[in-house]
Structure 1
Amino acid sequence: MSPVDQSGGAETAQPGVAVSAHAERKDEHVRLAMSLHAPGKTTPWADISFLHHALPGTALDAVDLSTRVLGSSWQVPFYVNAMTGGTESTGRLNAALAEAAAAAGVAIASGSQHVALRDRAREDTFRIIRRTAPGAFVLANVGPTVAPDDAARAVEMLEADALQVHVNVAQEVPMPEGDRDFSGWAGRIAQIADAAQVPVVVKEVGFGLSRRTVDLLASLGVAAADVAGNGGTDFVAIETARREDGAYRDLVGWGQSAALCLLECLHGPAGSAPVELLASGAVRTPLDVVRGLALGARAVGASGHFMRTLTESGPEALYRELVSWKEQVRGIMALLGASRVEDLACTDLLVTGATAERARLLSVDLPALARRSA
């Protein structure tokens, strides 16, 4: 999930003031996200492990990392997920993220473009992504409150290959200036999906998508869903840190992990999901990527971890890390006997801990996952 601002925020009667405040909030979110992000923290992905088989019968050089997402072939099965933009400093971050992603052959998603839709002077902080990564698969990003015409503008701004529509009710509720009416969001998503000239992906921002929500999204005409679970950057923690009254702090940790979402959506009683699934949220290692792929995601996104690498060590370090992730994913796949991403669906998964406890409540057959290679 994203380490920075994915919100639209409430509209006010003073558009110029609202745009400026929104832009300042993006910088504030970057600072808070980095301060709250603990690299050594155990995440829900630790509940997913693999049964080791000592003779996998594979070769690293024969492993194919490519995957198909939204009708396109991606070189690797992970991507730089939605981050930021809208201010001078976040524009520089976007340029560095895009440069590293393009050099490593990795897809990249923009942060929320709402601020640029309200103030064209801020568009360049997003346009820089496409200029820096002319051949990359790029996803634009808006919320469900925008009009279809504005969604189209966001796509044009980036010459994007797809459009993310972020949903973030759990962030908006504790945000002092957040939206308060979510009753029309489903209808607005349907309008955006109907009008869009590119595939639409609905993305949570770190609280997870249930199977009920994914089924609803399919009926609205979206092409894919990024389950974006909890355990990583927590926007409730960020928004409550911005408050002085302490309200909503008991909601820190709200939602489901990406692993639990994939288990419910793809391995529960309802069977395979009606749309393509992507996964993000608390993704910090190449092993997390392979875990998500083995649970059925087409690709796995990371944001907070990559942002930390960039801000602490610089663009070259981020590029080296993306290349390292590619090689580590390749090595783990070979260890598991998977020559293609699709082969990971036959690996034996051991689901334990809190994820297993909750998956059983959702009627997921965990013993069957442990015997898939048979």
Structure 2
Amino acid sequence: MSSERKDQHVDLADAQQQTASPARNDFDDVRFVHHALAGLDRDAVSLATSFAGIEWPVPLYVNGMTGGSTRTGEINRQLAIAARETGIPIATGSMSVALREPDMVGTFRVMRDENPDGYVCVNLSADATPDDAARVVDLLEADALQVHLNAVQETVMPEGSRGFSAWPDNIAAIVDRLDVPVIVKEVGFGLSRPTLERLADLGVAVADVSGAGGTDFARIENARRAENDYAFMAGWGQSAVCCLLDAVDAAPGDVPALVASGGVRTPLDVVRALALGARAVGVSGVFLHAVLNGGEEALIARIRAWLEQIAQLQALLGASTPTALVHTDVLLRGGVREFCELRGVDAAAFSRRSERHTGSSDEE
């Protein structure tokens, strides 16, 4: 049953990618102000990023997707090869199934076997025990653990959990137990500022805001219901853009270091998220679609193209590092501007950031 569900998730997630053009989302409400003399030489641009003691050569990662069946094990093999060949970090899908069904461990372990020197994150749900967390880290010799928050998905899932109150204590215990970084992430419904503040209180150093606008697990789980009776849950939550803006004026330590995912369609979306304060950006749906339609070679070509385009956009915007993008001028429009107004965020200030940045360091 678990293997069948994993395969269903892949098909339903990819179906959401199969449109003639990418669906509009909140990233489209973020536009850069063009300054024609702000550019740098491409050779002066670095893609390296660091946050909470983590150092990555690029600000892009393959976010957690799948595993737990023969088919998804092959997908993970292809994802891992692409990560190895391009040098980008990668995360597994949830390994809860591997804890219940040891025969499925290999469908996740292939990510380390094919990528022995890469940065690999393992993934578990927030109701996992510290022992479970330590076990999956050991199984893949992982560099970090992602803990996913998926209350919306569980609510719509026919066989989902209906109990979420233990999650904060579980997260704190996992953080205390592990020697590797713990990254708490949503699965596509966003992390509000109060949630981020609570995660910081629990000792979490990194959070992936993983917002709405990309793969919608409420839609996926509703499609698995006989009566499709949770259609009203489609579109639930905040986008990655809005989550980053919600937390943008937080003092150091008030919220974890932020990375972002959810609805990332192009290299421009990556750069937009970095400009709003993300230290790195994760991609799932677009990369999954590339693998399913062209294998690892197609994904390798896609990632290499994205990395070069990200670097070129940094050069165009005058940002020598990903972190320097927070000093670029952006216009926040439409629904994003409305979100800012309702949440007390000064949207207009983002259009004049370069005026306030006069020779200070790129690094925050």
TM-score over 0.5 for the alignment?
Answer: yes
Q: Return the offset for 1:246.
A: 2.8
Task: Report Cα offsets for 1:71-96 as digits up to 9, x if no partner.
Answer: 13211101000011111110010010
Q: Which residue of 2 aligns with 1:16?
A: none
Paired residue for 1:138, among 117, 120, 145?
Answer: 120
Q: Return the offset for 1:271.
A: 4.7
Task: Report Cα offsets for 1:148-175 as digits up to 9, x if no partner.
Answer: 1111111111111110000000000011
Task: Report Cα offsets for 1:229-253 as digits up to 9, x if no partner.
Answer: 0010000101111112232211100
Q: Which residue of 2 aligns with 1:35?
A: 15
Paired residue for 1:313, among 294, 305, 328?
Answer: 294
Task: Report Cα offsets for 1:6-51 as digits up to 9, x if no partner.
Answer: xxxxxxxxxxxxxxx1121000111111112245211211111100
Task: Report Cα offsets for 1:175-215 as digits up to 9, x if no partner.
Answer: 11000111111111111111112110100000000000000
- 1:223-372 to 2 correspondences below 5 Å: 223-267=205-249, 270-271=250-251, 273-372=254-353
Q: In structure 2, what is the Cα distance between the partners aligned to 1:37 and 1:286?
A: 16
Q: In structure 2, what is the Cα distance between the partners aligned to 1:244 and 1:86?
A: 23
- 1:150-229 to 2 correspondences below 5 Å: 150-229=132-211
Gaps of 5+ in 2: 356-364
Q: Secondary structure at the match of 1:314?
A: helix
Q: In structure 2, what is the Cα distance between the partners aligned to 1:332 and 1:75?
A: 17
Task: Report Cα offsets for 1:84-120 as digits up to 9, x if no partner.
Answer: 1111110010010010011101000110000101111
Identity of aligned residues (%): 51
Are 2:18 and 1:22 equivalent residues in the alignment? Answer: no
Q: In structure 2, what is the Cα distance between the partners aligned to 1:34 and 1:246?
A: 19
Q: Return the offset for 1:313.
A: 1.6
Alpha carbons 1:173, 1:179 under 8 Å: kept:
yes
Q: Return the offset for 1:223.
A: 1.3
Q: In structure 2, what is the Cα distance between the partners aligned to 1:69 and 1:309?
A: 29
Q: In structure 2, what is the Cα distance between the partners aligned to 1:257 and 1:345?
A: 19
How many aligned positions are there?
Answer: 352
Gaps of 5+ in 1: 1-20
Alpha carbons 1:174, 1:247 under 8 Å: kept:
no
Q: Secondary structure at the match of 1:340?
A: coil
4+ residue segments displaced more than 2 Å: 36-39, 270-274
Q: Return the offset for 1:57.
A: 4.0
Which letter maps to 2:17? H
Alpha carbons 2:39, 2:317 under 8 Å: kept:
no
- 1:36-115 to 2 correspondences below 5 Å: 36-39=16-19, 40=21, 41-115=23-97
Q: In structure 1, what is the Cα distance between the partners aligned to 2:346 and 2:18?
A: 33
Q: Which residue of 2 aligns with 1:8?
A: none
Alpha carbons 2:240, 2:262 under 8 Å: kept:
yes
Q: Secondary structure at the match of 1:288?
A: helix
